[in-house]
Amino acid sequence: MKVSPLSEALGVEVTDVQLAELDGAALDALKTQVFENGIAVIRDQQLSPEQHIAFAKRWGGIDVNPFFPTNSGWPEIAEVRKAETQRVNIGGGWHTDHSYDEIPAMGSILVARELPPSGGDTLFASMGAAYDSLSDGLKQTLDTLRAVHSADHIYQPGGFYSKTDQAAELTGQELSTRAVHPVVIRHPVTGRKLLYVNAGFTLHFEGWTREESLPLLAYLYELGAREEFQCRVEWQPGSVAIWDNRATWHLAMNDYHGHRRVMHRITLTGDPIAA
């Protein structure tokens, strides 16, 4: 296994490894790379859907996303796709997957299936680096706060996607989601403190109104998206990305209109998060 950094803030690229065969100590070594660096990109893979599922099960449990269409025949796999005729993509703003769940997902294993000739990169941002950059005074304030998360404004009727050309693709519009999490969490493996709010699903601080919450949330969103905390994943045929959802944000670039892009995503079960 060869490892090289994607940026100073987070991310590694891994080569000379085959995920279809990875297990035991070698799998543990890859997990360590993901936990310590937030995201690992593995090149030159030929994972079938069955191998994708089998690898995810060796990693841990699988959470089935209730909103994304599944790949026919493999309900564990969500398809993140955009057709040639569509203008809106999935995940086009900074977010953390499943923060609206009481036990958020650990992360995801995303496999490139169909790529546009150019564009469609994914940006990641380190919430450990973002937290580390805060003043001691703001850290002390945020350490005492909890925030309310929901996906209702995104997926329910009248929500964001209902007004776009993705509306017919998505499911689960009848579901209601709500969770309350500490604004600062500690990574269960590395112990690093992480900022845990995101523009996609965080509504307000617990006990605060949304109007009161927005100025501070807006500052944290601007901070977390600063370029020095980012890395960029340029997708290639055979690329797989595995990220730690607790430690990162991500954003899918929507710069390939007129071309089809299909990604297969398996969401990995997480553990309860704590301040």
The set of catalytic residues is 95, 97, 250, 265
List the structure tokens of 16.
């000379």
Phi then psi dihedrals of residue 154, to 5 deg: -100, -45
Encoded tokens for 62: 């699988």
User: Looking at the chain, how many residues does it have?
Assistant: 275
Q: Which residues contact 25 (CB under 8 A, 6 or more apart)?
A: none
- The conformation of residue 168, written as its DSSP 8-state character, comes to G
> Does residue 57 sit in helix, strand or coil?
helix
Q: How far is CA 35 from CA 29, 111, 209, 244, in A?
A: 10, 19, 34, 6
Q: Which amino acid is at 94?
A: W
Q: Which residue has the tokens 């203008």?
A: 87
Crossing angle for the helix pair 24-37 and 49-59, nearest 10 degrees? 80
CA distance 181 to 259: 38
